[in-house]
Amino acid sequence: KDDVDQSFRAVIRKWSTQPLKIVKKISPNGKKTGYETELEYNKKCATAYGQICLDQEILTVPSIPYGKFEACDLLDLAKKRLIHVKKSSRQSSVLSHFFKQGANSARLLKTFPEAGAMLVQKVESLTTSATAKALSAELKSALAGWTIEFHIIDAPRPDGSFTIPFFSRITLRDEVRMLRGMNFQVAVRFIAV
Q: Is the pTM of this model over 0.75?
A: yes
pLDDT at 184: 97
Q: What is the pLDDT at residue 29?
A: 86
pLDDT confidence of residue 65 = 76
pLDDT, residue 28, reads 84
Give the model confidence (pLDDT) of 145-178 as tens digits. Answer: 999 999 999 999 999 899 999 999 999 999 999 9
Distance of CA 50 to the CA centre of its chain: 16
The CA distance from 168 to 171, in Å, is 5
With a cut of 50, which residues of the chain have pLDDT below it? none
pLDDT on residue 171: 96
Q: For residue 67, what pLDDT is reported?
A: 78
